[in-house]
Structure 1
């Protein structure tokens, strides 16, 4: 019996040598994932959306049982750092938006995995070494209440928001640091600061949470939300709310990045999940949750709504100065 097993193993090894490297690698990854049998996914996306993605993954790979933990970006980063200090490596794959997750990349928490699916993702939506890829993008744009703002009054550029007629009629997320950092890079520090200060002088409503702000916009609490995620507008419109997006130049495309734990307890299952979520099949599931994909072969993509406007990927390297940017943004807006 042992001799037969050895012969079978040797034959499989010989076949692997005769096959392309990628095929052999895939086979080894599948066998490894079968032995691991688990995947732990940390993310900030809502539970129903995560369940839809994870259920499809489990259906495709029935030998893997998934576990999901949800928290917002800062809380997620804090949990991972706490676990790391305690020598506890619980997560396999992590996804979140904004500068917070990039802090983990910078401090060596992510491992390299250059998924073959990454070739479908343009520059600016992935790093050059395989640490992270944009699982979904979060286009930053203006949104407005269609009952309160007529087509003829729509702003033509961001600085039109500083027109006196919008005083007391604007809203903004009090933690839009990534947006501000990218405006500084694109416009220059002086112009970006002047714009944010101009918003302050408009008696802008400052509230944390774009989802909440979108609800308030739809109910008529204010007329225009100076910066929002496209997905929030798509979801609000689907629910029948009087909300519309307005893509002004430039649209900054935030990164909902995804990456693997350098010390993943289930590394093969983690790689399989990355391949799945970046594949056309996985990205079509992402689009069904109202999020946007930067893959060109995904149908029904919300990005099709703004394809005629310049879209610039968020520069995550700006996250290296995250604390300074946050304090500057808060200081300009008078947030204590």
Structure 2
């Protein structure tokens, strides 16, 4: 009988140990969260440099300060990705670094800063809900929204039956001189070649370049010109911008041509953040389902890489979206050179 009781006690001890072991990551995470919260309370302020329209960044900051009233001062500065990268590098060269806590930017610039060591590793628990490809495997950054690339068109100039359904549809002679194209569309160019295959991709690009494209210098301005009827088609546009302008009553819409790419807009903690705990708290808040769904998706029309967020436009349901492969930036000079060789003879590139 005594042996039986010893066996029972041993089994119970093992069971308790296994339960505690299984719960350990959650307990550790809770402990880390408590430490971050306590640290942020002491710091009480925060500076962010990030892309994203000011009205929506302000919404996030207002909610953040309401949830955490001890955050008395939060400065959210909007800086385009290229200028953000340039400023960080310039200030790093002085040896003083930058007075910023959180960085948010997109595309090749995001990868560049991550690889140059400008981000401090921080694995936000909220990043677990974000799809692979839209976050750094080492915990340096995670997407707080995504810009999906679409083909946009003016609904007064393009009949429903003529809306392109495939990339090859843009090669139709009827679209000659009628398609706008960004003069430095390097990221889309490189990813297109990778996905469809280099030989097939280059064949498409060369034929596309012969369509007498209307080259322009910025996506935002191009969408406005599209809405004004300057041209009927825009080959590569950011879906969120098209959706916002369309919602205002402009005669434009979009079509998703396979392959569909999405540009991650990532956020992370600056390596020398003066307020590292407040920075982590803000990143957690920015990546949360509440902020993703209610502000970046519902209010700003952005896409979200969170699996539990519903697109505002139901047409996105079921569409396969591929994250841009940012590592293609390693061959940036070669990509730019090849792009120029194809498009510059026809008036594109710089």
Q: Does TM, scored on the shorter chain, surpass 0.5?
A: yes
Secondary structure in 2 matching 1:20:
helix
1:252 aligned to 2:261? yes
Q: Which residue is 1:149 aligned to?
A: 158
1:292 aligned to 2:299? no
Aligned counterpart in structure 2 of residue 61 of structure 1, from 68, 73, 77: 68
Give, in whole Å, the separation in 2 of the partners of 1:333 and 1:269: 46
1:323 aligned to 2:330? no
Secondary structure in 1 matching 2:192:
helix
Give, in whole Å, the separation in 2 of the partners of 1:90 and 1:119: 29
Give, in whole Å, the separation in 1 of the partners of 2:314 and 2:49: 29
**CA apart distance, 1:295:** 1.6
**CA apart distance, 1:211:** 1.2
Distance of aligned partners of 1:83 and 1:170 in 2 relative to their CA distance in 1, 3 Å threshold: same
Give, in whole Å, the separation in 1 of the partners of 2:330 and 2:62: 35
Q: Which residue is 2:33 aligned to?
A: 26
Secondary structure in 2 matching 1:96:
strand
TM-score of the pair, normalised by structure 2 = 0.87
Task: Work out whether residues 89 and 265 of structure 1, in 8 Å CA contact, stay in contact via their aligned partners in 2.
Answer: no
Give, in whole Å, the separation in 2 of the partners of 1:323 and 1:264: 31
Aligned ranges 1:193-272 → 2 under 5 Å: 193-272=202-281
Aligned counterpart in structure 1 of residue 168 of structure 2, from 143, 159, 165: 159
**CA apart distance, 1:303:** 6.1
Give, in whole Å, the separation in 2 of the partners of 1:51 and 1:221: 33
**CA apart distance, 1:174:** 1.6
Between stretches 121-130 and 139-148, larger displacement belongs to: 121-130
Q: Which residue is 1:89 aligned to?
A: 98
Q: Deviations over 1:105-152 (max 9, x none)?
A: 111111111111111011111122211111111111111111111111
CA RMSD, 1 decimal? 1.7
Task: Work out whether residues 264 and 270 of structure 1, in 8 Å CA contact, stay in contact via their aligned partners in 2.
Answer: yes
Distance of aligned partners of 1:69 and 1:205 in 2 relative to their CA distance in 1, 3 Å threshold: same
Give, in whole Å, the separation in 1 of the partners of 2:269 and 2:46: 11
Give, in whole Å, the separation in 1 of the partners of 2:332 and 2:313: 27
Q: Deviations over 1:137-192 (max 9, x none)?
A: 11111111111111111222101101110001100112221111110110122322
1:309 aligned to 2:316? no
Between stretches 43-52 and 262-271, larger displacement belongs to: 43-52
Q: Which residue is 1:11 aligned to?
A: none
Aligned residues: 318
Q: Which residue is 1:103 aligned to?
A: 112
Give, in whole Å, the separation in 1 of the partners of 2:207 and 2:69: 55
Task: Work out whether residues 47 and 70 of structure 1, in 8 Å CA contact, stay in contact via their aligned partners in 2.
Answer: yes
Q: Which residue is 2:80 aligned to?
A: 72
**CA apart distance, 1:328:** 2.2
Give, in whole Å, the separation in 1 of the partners of 2:132 and 2:181: 29
Aligned ranges 1:178-197 → 2 under 5 Å: 178-197=187-206
Task: Work out whether residues 97 and 272 of structure 2, in 8 Å CA contact, stay in contact via their aligned partners in 1.
Answer: no
Q: Which residue is 1:282 aligned to?
A: 291
Give, in whole Å, the separation in 1 of the partners of 2:281 and 2:313: 26
Give 5+ residue unaligned stretches, structure 1: 1-16
Q: Based on CA coordinates, which of the two structures has the bigger radius of gyration? A: 2
